[in-house]
Amino acid sequence: MLQINPISHYSYLHAGLMKFFPADSIASRLKKTIGIELGAMFADEDFDEFAYYELFPVRALFEWLMSGGALSPADLTNRDGLLYDDNGSVISDYISSQFSKTEHIAALGLWFIESEAMAFGSSPYDHDGRNEQGWFEINVLNHKAECLLNAYQALCYANRLTQKIDLTPDEKERIAKFDFSALGAAGAAKRHSPIRALREYAVSLYDPNEWKSANQAAHELMDKIMAHGRSINARLAPSNAQRTIAEWFRKKSE
């Protein structure tokens, strides 16, 4: 049987996607932040009204960008009104800055391999065959494979943008028919949603040096976080709350 080494794919994709960020661009300081934002917009299972595009998140992003959509640095400011880079430093001179289309695409591709690929956890697996996130190994492998495919698609679209290849007739037709303004509005609503406020509250409680794992911290802090969520109308499903909170913690510590 042909053996595929995911690490070699990750290395190839990471190198290929990183080349789209000029060292002096503001996006080079916000790669992870942009990726998280775009992942929430285009790969979030809560976007049921956009289920068609949920199946093809990279293509959805590409067509949104080609329709005139874009994130701005101001979209990424925290609830305190400040813009923090991926290392936690404040960026003050961002008002006149913007992200290129290729930087959007590349950031989403990096998000898939650096963050989302690990969303289902990894080994070890218990006697029932599940890991600490509750997933079987086959689920973990399938999710990682899907993330690799999305990252490859991001690399293809980013290269295509640099080559200035025209839209196909099918792409033009989809862009003309789809209400991308609604997608952008939904993304903006999520940026200001109670759940986002709850996530920020949760990660403020988490110090990775105090816990053996994000999952352990989520187990210990879940009741406190859910109680705060109820107070701000941000409710997590009890059956999935620990997994959701652990994922918030894991992404903070990356």
Q: Is the pLDDT of residue 1 over 70?
A: no
Q: Tell me the average pLDDT across 188-195.
A: 67
What pLDDT score does 48 carry? 46
Vertex 64 angle, CA 104 and 170, to 5°: 125
What pLDDT score does 189 carry? 63
C-alpha 252/C-alpha 254 separation (Å) is: 6
Greater model confidence, 253 or 196: 196
What pLDDT score does 26 carry? 95
What pLDDT score does 250 carry? 80
C-alpha 249/C-alpha 225 separation (Å) is: 12
Amino acid at 214: A
- Domain ranges in the chain are 6-180, 193-254
Greater model confidence, 23 or 182: 23
Greater model confidence, 16 or 81: 16
